[in-house]
Structure 1
């Protein structure tokens, strides 16, 4: 055997690359890969530890470890139609010697109710009483615990170890569950990635989660329901944060705000901050606490009943508190799963439609390359507002101002606005904008409205779009939504026309390519002559 194969790190790399190429992921080994690693472990001493480390690296059940115990300890019963694991005799310390040879190799554990067998609270209670003082998986690095069974929740602590760096728990459903959080930071001082999901409305949720977060000094990724002012100040002092998501952020307590209004020195750079807020004030307050931390990507999701005035407050908060030189991606809209059920009568349209003038504070963010802005009934823009947007964000590559395709203020932007984007935003590759396409301007002379000609022909629209966007590949008018009964006929009629526009674009691209080819050939032949 070559001397390089006596180095465990090289062998591990060879095994990892071979199996990872075959399976794309080593989180769940298939039977063939597991048998291959088991065979390699029995081949020679040089192969044993690297092969066993990969074989045991990721687990989704404790039974693989427990099956290494003597066969007379556990029995599987099926008296009630569901398999249940029970003890046949008391467990002795010597019974754990062989299981711990392998459990020390486990680095990742994923519990999902759908396939993590066994799944009874009684079994885990028995296991907890039988375990020695040391953790079941002392070298575990990541734990994902996902189950809707609240009775199983307390037992996730069986898998906590001092080397844990990633923790995802989605079953905090009561005050007693939240009581486990304060001790976790002490038990797991190396935590870098944390995702804590809780039921809505738990008493003391924000305070308990904030206390937990304030003890974590190595955080790089955080997803929690909400935080108080002190926890936000703690985040601002961390060296770097790759991702922060506050799922149900409420306005900060006025008492805490008065007590902690001192300037917080910040060296933190946040790659992505996502806020799902209960009202506009919560978004502004969070950004104010983190104003000294450069944010590269900001996503704010607000409730569907947020008025245009409240949306303007969010825009003002973003412009006032975000670093003008760092923000690259901005999204301020409804959550993806939020449905726009606001009534479409004129009073509601006036209340929820966001006028173009509300966007003006955001124009100071000149480094933006990706922008998504939407309201419950969309943005009320005209060609002049569209031109201001194009001039403010010349680096833009993706711009989404569409909002809902089925419930929105009637569009006042025309096809002329698209020419403005074509002229002022050379890097733009994706544009979503409500457009009134009933008249098609002459694209070379589109300065005055008098030069536009009324049309209902999709081919004219396709020709205009192809002329200003020569490489345009597709257009879309949204999808049919069964909730949109009152305007479905009008929406479907518009969709059919835009489908015809989309169908014409490939033909126009082909004609354009042929013209360029023959023009090039003609010039080449003239040069030869």
Structure 2
């Protein structure tokens, strides 16, 4: 073999320029090179381990009886040590870990987050995806002003943030520490639906962060349906700071209810988020006696001005007033494929008119209602059964009316 091929820098240049169409083929090629001879071994391994998507490959090379992984309730695989650590357990880890120069995704569970922790995270300059499980108790995080004063750019390349916590306040505090990051996606998984005040605090932090211009997806989901008192909260006001994030096209927020949310609020969303694809303002509680301020006509701005919209999930009160004009005033959106109205209320006498309106405006949509007769309370059982039956009729009539309207348009 030529003496030039014994120089690691030359070998690295050659190996970096091997043609490969996928990462799998490139990795397979580097593994073959590492097994070819001693001179190729180290340069090939350096390239193979240079970039890791996460820490799992390093954990898997440790002894089988030392590391174990299991799925948690959030379907994240958590890794832990099953016995005390000894130096011999890190022999292979120490051999490969120094070769890793770029880590793009990190999944960690923490009990606290100090300034020193943030400084260590800042060393991961190319980390793009961070997933964290926060403690149930209130967290005390470093002062944002102290970070700015020290010129610390925490995770400058971060794009995707996924946090699991029982309290939205902890998530808000973390995002405030990451206020310089141009995040594109934020996914918060909570135990209970957030209160209006905590949502307002989060939206205010987002509107004052660098992600105001870059955030495309905001998802706040809750596992349980615990209710809380938000009688003094007007959600049209709570959502106002969020409307400043003009790049949003996926908005998912689980909540107990949405008092104050009305057709005007939806119109403001349309103006703020013209690229909207997925709107999910899920309502856990919307009884027969509490009607949403959102009506069928409130959906018209979404249908008319959001051409990319494919899913609408929100609570409304479905009623209809007969007029001489077309039910949807000529507005037709064939891109919406799912209308999930959850526990929305409906005027029993307006069932055919509601089905006619939805078939005219959203002819290609599947309609879902989540009234569950098995969970009815005795004091409202009759009314809830009536709601469930009415929505079942709307769902049955919708495709029939769609066919009829198609035949009318084809004939005339």
Q: TM-score, normalised by structure 2?
A: 0.66
Q: Distance in 2 between matches of 1:483 and 1:462?
A: 25
How far apart are the structure 1 equivalents of 2:370 and 2:159?
Answer: 31
Q: Secondary structure at the match of 1:189?
A: helix
Match of 1:477 in 2: 369
Aligned mate of 2:105, from 221, 228, 233: 221
Residue 350 (structure 1) shift: 1.7
Q: Which runs of 5+ in 2 are unaligned?
A: 1-20, 33-47, 49-54, 69-75, 330-346
1:298-324 superposed Cα distances (whole Å, 9 cap, x missing partner)? 112344274321221112122222423
In 1, Cα distance between equivalents of 2:126 and 2:227:
40
Q: Name the CA distance, whole Å, in 1 between partners of 2:67 and 2:301.
A: 57
**Partner residue, 2:6:** none
Residues 357-413 of structure 1, C-alpha deviations (whole Å, 9 max, x = no match): 100000001111110123233454122222222222121011011232667964121
Counterpart of 1:461 in structure 2 is 354
5 Å-filtered alignment, 1:395-406, equals: 395-404=275-284
Partners of 2:134 and 2:170 within 8 A in 1: no
Give the aligned partner of residue 436 of structure 1: 317
Structure 1 runs not aligned, ≥5 long: 1-12, 18-48, 54-106, 108-139, 146-151, 158-166, 193-216, 448-453, 520-529
Q: CA deviation at 1:238?
A: 3.5
Equivalent of 2:130 in 233, 244, 268: 244
User: What are the superposed Cα offsets for residues 482-516 of structure 1, whole Å, 9 maximum, x if unpaired?
Assistant: 55535555444323222221222222222233334
1:155 aligns with 2:41: no
1:271-420 counterparts in 2 under 5 A? 271-304=159-192, 306-334=194-222, 338-342=223-227, 348-350=229-231, 355-378=235-258, 380-404=260-284, 410-420=291-301
Cα deviation, residue 430, structure 1 = 0.8
Q: Using the alignment, how far apart are the partners of 2:302 and 2:285 within structure 1?
A: 21
Paired position in structure 1 for 2:337: none
Answering whether residue 145 of structure 2 is matched by residue 253 of structure 1, we say no
| CA-CA distance at 1:251 after TM superposition | 5.2
In structure 2, which of residues 60, 75, 79 is the aligned counterpart of residue 170 of structure 1? 79
CA contact (8 A) 1:237 1:268 kept: no
Output the TM-score relative to the length of structure 1.
Answer: 0.53
In the alignment of these two chains, the number of paired residues is 337
d(CA) in 1 for partners of 2:88 and 2:237? 48
Higher Rg: 1
| SS state at 1:384 partner | helix
Indicate the structure whose relative CO is greater, using CA pairs within 8 Å and at least 6 residues apart. 2
| Among candidates 231, 236, 240, match of residue 117 of structure 2 | 231
Pairwise CA distance, 1:259: 6.0
1:189 corresponds to which of 97, 110, 113: 97
